[in-house]
């Protein structure tokens, strides 16, 4: 039942998402005892213009 | 004041969203006593490549 | 794979959550073709002091 | 460490996001004592068709 | 219709939330043209143990 | 800038969160090229009564 949301700037390739999903799911199984079959992962990719750190949009930096 | 977020793989048609929004709002009014006028619903549609279950991207299954 | 998050002010009774969960899951199956077994619902209950509408905390209204 | 998510209907211009990010970050520094360098802001822009109030999609209103 | 979620480590006082809610709502009205009456803000306060930066829980730092 | 939210039923021990945070941060650095110092992780622990799968609250199962 863990639902993991990974929100990030820019995009990942399909291969990167695949690797990240595999490892995060394995981590939750190994250390938190959550069966892999219950783990959902959602990748939310936002353009740099839609993120700010320290009050500045990422694309200004 | 309920804010309902429905995150799903793929897309829904406008008609599907309309039906879902009507019913979910009515459900919250009927069973949780939340006036319809305060209920916000947001549909977040993500491509299959951005979802994983059991460590596999949906588009691998 | 729908993940539904229902964020609200105050608390619901267990019975209210049960009814809401049943109906929202059924709605997504009926109108959006999502098998019930894939639907996750999370209730996030926040105190009135942690919500604002129109710039005022709910507990000031 | 505040993570601020601003989910809205329609889109903002880059200039609007810049202004909002600056002010929200300053507000959290001034009133909540959160150093600007730790504040992340994400703008999530959804089409009107993906939002409902009072059980009606925004684009029906 | 903006829904603003402010997720942070630790807690804010009621007075801090009130000030933050007022200003964030005013910012969205002034710069993004969103009427105050449609703006919802939710404060999600998590203990330091439930946040990590750079792979370390906040309470280890 | 990745913000990872891990929402789950029940609670994790501090030690479990520490391990999960370390590994998820390392995974994002290794496979997605995200510097550890930018990765935020938030653990959201909800009681079983606040989660449903397949229309049933977890505590009914």
Q: For chain A (length 61 residues), average pLDDT per consecutive 10? A: 96 98 98 97 98 95 57
User: In the prediction, which pLDDT does D61 show?
Assistant: 56
Short-list F2, E43, A60, CA closest to D34? E43
**Closest CB from E46, E54, E60 relative to F25:** E54
Tell me what the pLDDT averaged over chain B comes to.
96
User: In the prediction, which pLDDT does B45 show?
Assistant: 98
Cβ neighbours of residue B23 under 8 Å, at least 6 residues apart?
Answer: C23, C27, C31
Gap between the Cα atoms of B35 and B12, Å rounded: 26
Chain E: residue whose CA lies nearest to D48:
E1
User: In the prediction, which pLDDT does A60 show?
Assistant: 83
Sorted by where each starts, the structural domains of chain C and their CATH numbers stand as: 3-60 (3.30.429.10)
Distance from CA of B50 to the nearest CA of C (A): 12
Chain E environment of F41 (Cβ under 8 Å): 51-53
Contact (CB<8Å) C37/F57: no
Share of chain F above pLDDT 90, in %: 93
User: In the prediction, which pLDDT does F61 show?
Assistant: 56
**Closest CB from E50, E54, E60 relative to F42:** E50
CA distance from start to end of chain A: 38
Region at B6 (left for phi over 0; alpha for psi -120 to 50; beta for the rest): beta
pLDDT in tens, chain C (61 residues): 899 999 999 999 999 999 999 999 999 999 999 999 999 999 999 999 999 999 999 998 5
User: In the prediction, which pLDDT does E49 show?
Assistant: 97
Cite the DSSP H helix spans in chain E. 14-32
Distance from CA of B60 to the nearest CA of A (A): 9
User: In the prediction, which pLDDT does C46 show?
Assistant: 97
Gap between the Cα atoms of D28 and E23, Å rounded: 9
* Overall size of chain A counted in residues: 61
Chain E: residue whose CA lies nearest to F29:
E54
Contact (CB<8Å) F5/A4: yes
Chain A environment of F1 (Cβ under 8 Å): 8-9, 51, 53, 58
- Decide if pLDDT at B60 tops 90: no
The catalytic position among E1, E2, E3, E21 is E2
- Decide if pLDDT at E30 tops 90: yes
To test the contact with chain F by mutation, choose from D2, D40, D43, D44 the residue with the greatest count of F C-beta atoms within 10 A, namely D40
- Decide if pLDDT at B61 tops 80: no
Gap between the Cα atoms of C42 and F6, Å rounded: 12
- Active-site residue, E47 included: no
pLDDT in tens, E2-27: 999 999 999 999 999 999 999 999 99
- Once rounded to an integer, what is the mean pLDDT over residues B13-30? 98
The DSSP bridge pattern shows strands A40-46 and A3-9 to be: parallel
Contact (CB<8Å) C3/A1: no
Chain C environment of B56 (Cβ under 8 Å): none
Angle at the Cα of E3 from the Cα atoms of E2 and E4, rounded to 5 degrees: 110
The DSSP bridge pattern shows strands B40-46 and B3-9 to be: parallel
pLDDT in tens, F31-45: 999 999 999 999 999
User: Looking at residue F38, what DSSP letter applies?
Assistant: G
The catalytic position among F2, F4, F21, F24 is F2
User: In the prediction, which pLDDT does B14 show?
Assistant: 97
Cβ–Cβ pairs < 8 A, chains A and B: 46
Cβ neighbours of residue E22 under 8 Å, at least 6 residues apart?
Answer: C55, C56
Chain D: residue whose CA lies nearest to A9:
D42
Q: What is the ipTM of this complex?
A: 0.96
Chain C environment of F60 (Cβ under 8 Å): 18
Short-list D4, B21, F10, CA closest to E20? D4
Furthest-apart CA pair in chain E: how many Å? 42
**Residue E61's pLDDT band (cuts 50, 70, 90):** low
């Amino acid at each position: 039942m863990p639902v993991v949301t990974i929100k990030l700037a820019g995009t990942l390739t399909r291969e990167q998402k695949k690797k990240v999903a595999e490892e995060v799911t394995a981590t939750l199984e190994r250390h938190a005892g959550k069966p892999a079959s219950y783990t959902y992962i959602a990748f939310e990719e936002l353009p740099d213009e839609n993120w700010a750190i320290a009050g500045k949009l990422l694309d200004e930096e």
